[in-house]
Structure 1
Amino acid sequence: MEFMEVTVPNYSYVFNFEKKFIHQDTRDWMQNNWTYGFYYCGIYMILIFSGQHWMSSRQRFELRGLLTIWNTLLATFSIIGFTRTAPELIHTLRNYGLYHSVCVPSFIEQDRVSGFWTWMFVLSKLPELGDTMFIVLRKQPLIFLHWYHHITVLLYSWFSYTEYTSTARWFVVMNYFVHSIMYTYYALKAMRYSPPKFISMVITALQLLQMVIGCAINIWAYRYLEPGQKDCCISKHNVHFSLLMYGSYFILFARFFHKAYFVGRKNTKTSNDDYSKKIKSN
């Protein structure tokens, strides 16, 4: 595939570790070690479900201090990642249009900033598995959406990086943005602050919007994979996997949104009404 030469955003400052980033080295490592993702996911599954069994007869751990540090670190990382990758997406859309943003990969040799933080994004999916251990050790409900989401994002991110998938710039920026808000919210909760309740609803709504945009980007890219269309740096296998993943996420997040913010509120209101009636009757 041949694409026109492009310019990169005018970053106000480029760190030395970004300047030294060599995208081909990281790609070679991912291609040579792609099976590691499956091993990590297997270990993850064993740990969380055996951990639940082990915790079933024990008191929950509070872990509030560790949880505060954990969420603060992930929030900080996500905010930095967003501020370093969003300029490239905005620059591409402004100067080259939607087709280029969907079909030409961003982590090319010229843009080492975007390349480095895309690589960091992929690697971050491994430590993010640690979210689940807090749920297990604090004996909170572990829903299917949680661990399914963690596993599939890790595997898909590693797979896509080896292909230099062009749609990744959209997925990376969106995920960094949502996680910036989500982990900041969790950090504040762990610190015993009480952010407005509507923020949690906004976060889930943003996750749903992320899935809708993800599906739309994949469908847009798939159009260019038909014979006679323009080049697009994404495989049909990748589009199929991504659509299945984003589609399933949308269904699961929509179900969670409905149960958490509509069914849950209805049940709470009913319980409060019943309690009020009981008080009045006494």
Structure 2
Amino acid sequence: MAPIADFLLAYVPSNIPHYLTTYVQGKTPLSTDVVVYSALASYLAIIFGIQAIMKNQKPLKLTLLFQIHNVILSGGSLLLLVLMLEEILPIFWKHGIYHAMCAEASWTPRMEFYYMINYSFKYLELLDTVFLAFKKKPLAFLHVFHHSATALLCYSQLNGKTSVSWVVISLNLMVHVLMYYYYYATAGGAKIWWKKYLTTMQIAQFVIDLFVVYFGTYQHFSYVYWADTMPHIGNCAGTEQAALFGCGLLSSYLLLFINFYIQTYKKPSRGPKPTANGNGVANGKANGHAYVE
């Protein structure tokens, strides 16, 4: 039973091309290496181009557009999270957590469609950096790397059909509901006291992510290559390339976020206390994003 999905799908036109609701590499938008790498290269060129153009210009506020952008991403993340849980929880309840995380059957047609929507969100989120560039905020390495690499991560997992994807994506959506609300609220001048805890939540997210993806990767390799020598429960669906890429990239995220946390919250203060900028975060420590600044 998926009443919310059933209600929404009743309003979806029946003549939509199948490659827009089912992932077909080469036909679904943003589903080839050339297109994806070109899009991400264009992202980098655009943001650094804006930086160069704005160098001798006054910062643009763009408050209303920025708030609309964040409302869309916060609300969209919440709706997508609810839809994904509505699909996966009955599988978990009926077959158990291992089946929900590792069985090929857990990659249902609806889950694949939700993964495609989540993937499209990653390109919409690239506008975060465009806003920062127009506002003449610093473009921290963590911010630019995380935004571009996450689009690549979602692309790789769609191609690899990794069954544990829903765990990573659900946690990410949960964080994004709060994170984009934070951006919306602080853009309007609100003072948010829980920024530090949002960063902590993001670090906890990556710890859980890594436990899940390393567990799934170990299960797969043990099942395929070391069935007689290594203890395992069974196979975990997905290609090896996608699994290893996910493990490596998520590991780098955890290290980068921990370093950001230490630099932002644990570093001894020097000189006068920094004042808050228009986004409710400290000058010198932030550029408008809860996890990077």
C-alpha distance in 1, partners of 2:87/2:261? Answer: 32
Supply the AA of the counterpart residue of 1:152: A
C-alpha distance in 2, partners of 1:19/1:149? Answer: 35
Task: Report the identity percentage.
Answer: 22
Match of 1:277 in 2: none
Match of 1:254 in 2: 258
Of 129, 135, 141, which residue of structure 2 is paired with 1:138? 135
CA contact (8 A) 2:101 2:164 kept: yes
Unpaired stretches in structure 2, ≥5 consecutive residues: 274-293
C-alpha distance in 1, partners of 2:5/2:122? Answer: 26
Match of 1:159 in 2: 156
CA contact (8 A) 1:48 1:136 kept: yes
SS in 1 for 2:189: coil
Match of 2:202 in 1: 207
Pairwise CA distance, 1:51: 1.5
C-alpha distance in 2, partners of 1:61/1:12? Answer: 39
**Aligned residues: CA RMSD:** 2.3
Say if 1:117 and 1:143 are closer, same or farther in 2 by CA, change over 3 A: same
In the TM superposition, 1:83-162 aligns within 5 A as 83-105=82-104, 106-109=106-109, 112=110, 114-162=111-159
Aligned residues: 256
- Larger helix share, 1 or 2: 1
C-alpha distance in 2, partners of 1:177/1:32? Answer: 25
- TM superposition score normalised by structure 2: 0.80
C-alpha distance in 1, partners of 2:64/2:173? Answer: 24
- TM superposition score normalised by structure 1: 0.83
In the TM superposition, 1:163-202 aligns within 5 A as 163-195=160-192, 197=193, 199-202=194-197
CA contact (8 A) 1:93 1:100 kept: yes
Match of 2:279 in 1: none
Say if 1:81 and 1:60 are closer, same or farther in 2 by CA, change over 3 A: same
Match of 1:74 in 2: 73
Pairwise CA distance, 1:258: 1.4
Pairwise CA distance, 1:18: 6.6
CA contact (8 A) 2:162 2:243 kept: no
Match of 2:283 in 1: none
